Amino acid sequence: MVGWKVAVLCLWVSCSSAAGQLEYSVSEETERGVAVGNVAQDLRLSAAALSLRNFRFLSSHGEPYFGVDLASGSLVVREPADREQLCGAKAACVLTYELVLEDPLELHKMRIHVLDTNDNSPHFPAGDVQLHIPEFLMPGARFTLPNAQDADEGSNGVLSYNLSPSQHFRLDMGSRVDGSEYPELVLEKALDREQRATHQLVLTAQDGGLPVRSGDAQVTIIVVDTNDNAPVFERTVYRTKVPETAPNGTVLFRVQASDPDEGSNGEIRYFLSNSTQAKLRHYFHVHPRNGEVRVAASLGPPEMLLEAYVEARDEGAFSLASTAKLLVEVTDVNDHAPEVNLLTLSSPVSEDAAAGTVIALLSVRDEDLGPNGKVICSMSTGGPFKLKSSFDNYYSLLTDGPLDREQVSEYQVLITASDGGSPPLSTRRTLIVSVADINDNTPSFSQPKQELFVAENNGPGASLGRVFAQDPDLGKNGLVFYELLDVISEGQAASSLVAVDSSSGAISAKIAFDFEQLRGFHFQVEARDGGLPPRSATVIVNLFVVDRNDNSPVILFPLPRNGSVPVEIVPRSARTGHLVTKVVAEDADSGSNAWLSYHISQASDSSLFRISASMGELRTARLVLPTDAVKQRVVVVVRDHGDPSLSTSVTLGVLLSNSAPQVLPDFEDAWEIEGHLSAQNLHLIIALACVSFLFLGCSLFFVCSKLSQSPGCCPQSCCHSPEESRCGNKMVSNPCVTSATIDVTTVERLSQTYLYRASLGLGSDNNSLLLRGEYGAANLRNVATGVGLSVPISCIQIRNRKGDHANVNAMVSKFYGI
């Protein structure tokens, strides 16, 4: 007969963890394949869900008696269970199992009660009994008979005794102080050995099962003579406690019996009674003389009550004996460390796991009993975890806070299980919990702005630098790609100026940069990781074009006009340090490439002038000497500080004169170096003088010939006609006047060149020179006192092409040369 019942105690734990308890009952020796109950239905699941959720049936005992059919979800018998073999004399025989389901994680505890059936008959461990009863004993004498044993439990193990009919004996039940009963043989009628020396009786023990089972023991009574006092123990029951680890030879009891008889009839020997179970006899050793009961073998499991009997027998010819009961309670010793079993571990765990997520399920056990077997688990780790007791000896490891893989990628969780013994024993187990990465970090640049520098005139494709962003995530989540954001900078798209490598962040130039056209610009680079969804960050890159010395200085002042040399006039009375002019220049470069310095590279007289290297001011270095040449020529070089440096030069003409000449000399001729003429220049001057005298002679000859051919024209009338001739502001219109064209250059602060036409009239006392200039006569404040003619000049009249007049009186009676 198979009976079963189910009691479901549901205790649900959030986040894929569940705890519950199932209870079933089944009779022992149930045949294979019999269904005890349906686990799937009791868990409120379909049978198919067991396989889908990776159902596991765990047992801490390792016995093959029960299993779960995944197809139907039924709890079936695998092997017939023998309750007596499994649980012995325990009142309740319970097998415990664990049921584990995943997705989500659930844990259930199942208890199967193995019910007893009356499958064992009573038996007498001592076998047949032989009693020696003296014939002189009076009726009422009592003799202890051995107890029968029945391995069954409950009503199946309840015993009753019967004795075969006899006129001399009856059966009665005796009781001990602990309430246990035992059969006693009571003498009803005095014995007579001469009439009958032995009596054969049958002692029958019956249990209370259905059907009733029984066992017999043959009782042989031998009638003996004379020794009429049996030994008597001080106590009928001896009780003690002994630890399970008690070594062999430990004294448990010292029993003592007395016999009032004398001689050998009063000498007592002790030994284990045949009433002691055979399986317990090897635990004890009784000293025959002093009655010491010692441990002879390792005692059984803790909290086991060992029951033995010691017999005291005298040494009379017809010995008498009595028995005492020994009760030995084996107490537990904390000699087993707790065991920690890992049922399931979810690792790695995502770093975005919510608080309370179940990571691991553990079970603990301790084979000790009582406080020694009570286990407490604790956790020691710096991580965000907590240990929660589910039920009985089961614990769940849960998250107790946020996880960050970038901070800690792996935790070593130390689980310590300690019992309640004194001193306590403990077991440690380390769980490795890895944290799985998610894309929770944005790529980051070390600075929001980055500066790069490139020298101008670079080649296209030149490397400018790189940007780098860090992403502490793993795999694709931490793989960073770079992209140039096409932002308009300085009027141009950034993509037309630079390129960014998507994998390395290297920045290269697309064009050659010119500092003078583009000194810098900025653009943005985006760093994007490979996660889903991707995260990105931007950095502003300021690119500065570094100047190179690729531009020469440019002279701004003074500037030559129409190809002529700019001329400055310095009075001969000028003091040392007199400002001649200031050379102004600029350089399109920057920095040291644009730092300009001024130097005199060549000069007609190097001792006469000096120039400020930083300001460009050309000044006299000494007083002007009478021997200094009128025309001085100075070449000023403007040089920058680049590497290599570039330079530009300007040629200046300096006229040494106390007054501004009306006609400026030509500075395009050869150099007059320090007032001395070279041999070449001397030859040239002599040649020019010869040509001039020759030309003058021809001219005089031509004039004289004309005068001799014109009788109405006389020398006196040529220059002294009051209505035709002017001195000062009056024009000379005499037909005898000879004209020539002379170029005269006058110099102001900003030099200008003028072209004049001169008309020369010859007279007896005074000569006149008419100059026609290209520009306004107002600029002609000072002109030369002569134009290089070999005739005396008394009056110079200047007229420019616009019709203005300017008269300059020349206080010269006779002038030759400049």
Spatial distance between the Cα atoms of 272 and 15, rounded to a whole number of angstroms: 62
For residue 186, what pLDDT is reported?
93
pLDDT(29) > 50: yes
What share of the chain in percent tops pLDDT 90?
23
For residue 754, what pLDDT is reported?
35
pLDDT(708) > 60: yes
Mean pLDDT of the chain: 78
For residue 346, what pLDDT is reported?
87
Q: What is the mean pLDDT of residues 111-117?
A: 86
* pLDDT tens readout for residues 592-615: 888 999 999 999 888 999 999 999
The 3-state secondary structure of 677-746 reads CCHHHHHHHHHHHHHHHHHHHHHHHHHHHHHHHCCCCCHHHHHCCCCCCCCCCCCCCCCCCEEEEECCCC
Which DSSP category does 475 fall into? H
Please, what is the Cα angle at 55 between 49 and 56, to 5 degrees?
165
Residues 38 and 150 sit within 8 Å (Cβ to Cβ): no
For residue 167, what pLDDT is reported?
92
Which domains does the chain carry? 26-115 (2.60.40.60), 129-224 (2.60.40.60), 232-331 (2.60.40.60), 339-436 (2.60.40.60), 444-546 (2.60.40.60), 554-656 (2.60.40.60)
Three-state SS at 779: helix
Taking the CA of residue 126 as centre, how many other CA atoms within 13 Å lie in the half-sphere pointing to its CB?
A: 20
* pLDDT tens readout for residues 297-348: 988 777 678 899 999 999 887 788 899 999 998 888 888 899 999 888 888 9
Most confident of 13-22, 26-35, 782-791: 26-35
Residue with tokens 């002679």: 697
Spatial distance between the Cα atoms of 472 and 457, rounded to a whole number of angstroms: 39
Phi and psi angles of residue 706, each rounded to the nearest 5 degrees, phi first:
-70, -40
Q: 728, exposed or middle or buried, with CB in 10 Å at 0-12, 13-18, 19+?
A: exposed
Residues 558 and 650 sit within 8 Å (Cβ to Cβ): yes
Compute CA 401 distance to the chain's CA centroid, rounded to the nearest angstrom.
19
Residues 639 and 599 sit within 8 Å (Cβ to Cβ): yes
For residue 680, what pLDDT is reported?
58
273-287, 315-329, 743-757: which range is least confident on average? 743-757
For residue 176, what pLDDT is reported?
81
For residue 501, what pLDDT is reported?
94
Q: What is the mean pLDDT of residues 421-436?
A: 89
Alpha helices in 574-678 (DSSP H): none
Compute CA 667 distance to the chain's CA centroid, rounded to the nearest angstrom.
80
Please, what is the Cα angle at 561 between 556 and 563, to 5 degrees?
110
Q: What is the pTM assigned to this prediction?
A: 0.49
Spatial distance between the Cα atoms of 543 and 523, rounded to a whole number of angstroms: 8
With bands split at pLDDT 50, 70 and 90, how would you rate the model's confidence at 93? Answer: confident
Spatial distance between the Cα atoms of 261 and 318, rounded to a whole number of angstroms: 12
With bands split at pLDDT 50, 70 and 90, how would you rate the model's confidence at 15? Answer: very low
* pLDDT tens readout for residues 355-413: 889 989 998 988 888 888 889 888 887 789 888 888 778 899 999 888 888 888 888 88
For residue 14, what pLDDT is reported?
25
Helices (H) and strands (E) in the chain, counts: 6, 57
With bands split at pLDDT 50, 70 and 90, how would you rate the model's confidence at 636? Answer: very high
Q: What is the mean pLDDT of residues 138-167?
A: 85
Dump the DSSP string for 37-85.
EEHHHHTT--HHHHHHTT-EEEESS---SEEEETTTTEEEESS---HHH
- For 86, the enclosing helix (H) or strand (E) is helix 83-87
Buried b (16+ CB within 10 A) or exposed e, 423-438: ebbbbebebebebebb
Q: How many residues appear in the chain?
A: 818
Q: 522, exposed or middle or buried, with CB in 10 Å at 0-12, 13-18, 19+?
A: middle
Structure tokens at 98: 């664990």
Q: What is the mean pLDDT of residues 54-61?
A: 80
Residues 119 and 170 sit within 8 Å (Cβ to Cβ): no
For residue 668, what pLDDT is reported?
61
Please, what is the Cα angle at 213 between 207 and 216, to 5 degrees?
90
* β-strand pairing of 480-485 with 520-529: antiparallel
Measured over the CA atoms of residue 484, residue 485, residue 486 and residue 490, the dihedral's sign is negative
Alpha helices in 415-527 (DSSP H): 475-478
For residue 619, what pLDDT is reported?
94
- Give the list of residues 6+ apart from residue 701 with CB closer than 8 angstroms, or none: none
Residue with tokens 């020469």: 552
Phi and psi angles of residue 556, each rounded to the nearest 5 degrees, phi first:
-95, -30
- For 87, the enclosing helix (H) or strand (E) is helix 83-87
| Cα separation values, 23 from 33, 37, 343, 354, Å | 19, 10, 21, 34
Which DSSP category does 247 fall into? P
- Termini Cα distance of the chain: 158
For residue 777, what pLDDT is reported?
33
* pLDDT tens readout for residues 445-490: 999 999 999 888 888 989 989 999 998 888 888 899 999 987 776 6
For residue 666, what pLDDT is reported?
65
pLDDT(747) > 70: no
Structure tokens at 301: 């499991």
- Give the list of residues 6+ apart from residue 491 with CB closer than 8 angstroms, or none: none
Residue with tokens 């979810």: 346
Spatial distance between the Cα atoms of 352 and 12, rounded to a whole number of angstroms: 24
| Nearest alpha-carbon partner for 119 in 8, 190, 210 | 210
For residue 490, what pLDDT is reported?
64
pLDDT(20) > 80: no
With bands split at pLDDT 50, 70 and 90, how would you rate the model's confidence at 1? Answer: very low
**Biggest alpha carbon–alpha carbon distance for the chain:** 230
For residue 295, what pLDDT is reported?
92
Three-state SS at 645: coil
Structure tokens at 59: 């047992």
Structure tokens at 313: 């027998």
Amino acid 181 reads E
For residue 681, what pLDDT is reported?
62
Spatial distance between the Cα atoms of 364 and 350, rounded to a whole number of angstroms: 27
For residue 549, what pLDDT is reported?
84
Cα dihedral angle (235, 241, 244, 246), rounded to 10 degrees? -70
Residues 725 and 719 sit within 8 Å (Cβ to Cβ): yes
Spatial distance between the Cα atoms of 222 and 128, rounded to a whole number of angstroms: 13
* pLDDT tens readout for residues 232-248: 999 999 999 998 888 99
Q: Residue 184 pairs with which residues in a beta bridge?
A: 144, 172
Spatial distance between the Cα atoms of 544 and 497, rounded to a whole number of angstroms: 13
pLDDT(12) > 80: no
Spatial distance between the Cα atoms of 712 and 709, rounded to a whole number of angstroms: 9
Q: 44, exposed or middle or buried, with CB in 10 Å at 0-12, 13-18, 19+?
A: exposed
Residues 783 and 661 sit within 8 Å (Cβ to Cβ): yes
Q: What is the mean pLDDT of residues 516-535?
A: 89
- Give the list of residues 6+ apart from residue 460 with CB closer than 8 angstroms, or none: 509, 510, 511, 512
Q: Residue 783 pairs with which residues in a beta bridge?
A: none
pLDDT(284) > 70: yes
